[in-house]
Amino acid sequence: MPRFAYVNGRYVRHADAAVSIEDRGLVFADAVYEVCQVQKGFVIDLTRHLDRLDHSLAEIRIRTPMPRAAMTAIMREVLRRNRVVNGMVYLQVSRGVARRDHVFPSPEVRASLIVTAKNLNPAVNAAKYAAGIKAATVADNRWGRVDIKTVGLLPNVLARQQAKDAGAQEAIFVDADGNVTEGGATNLWIVDKTGTLVTRMADHAILNGITRTTVLDVAGRLGIPVEERRFSVAEMLEAREVFITGATTICLPVVSIDGHTIANGHPGMTAQKIRDAFFAVAEKTVI
| Catalytically annotated residues | 149
CA distance 259 to 77: 45
Half-sphere exposure (CA, 13 Å, Cβ side) for 70? 8
What per-residue string of b and e applies to 102-141 under the rule 16 or more CB within 10 Å gives b?
eebbeeebebbbbbbbebbeeeebeeebeebbbbbbbebe
CA distance 61 to 106: 13
Distant-in-sequence contacts of 55-59, Cβ < 8 A, 24+ apart? 55/148, 56/32, 56/148, 56/149, 56/150, 57/32, 57/93, 59/145, 59/147, 59/148
Of 10, 36, 170, 167, the residue nearest 90 (C-alpha): 36
CA distance 95 to 20: 12
Contact criterion met (CB below 8 Å) for 236 and 180: yes
CA distance 111 to 95: 5
Residues 6+ apart with CB under 8 A from 39: 86, 279, 284
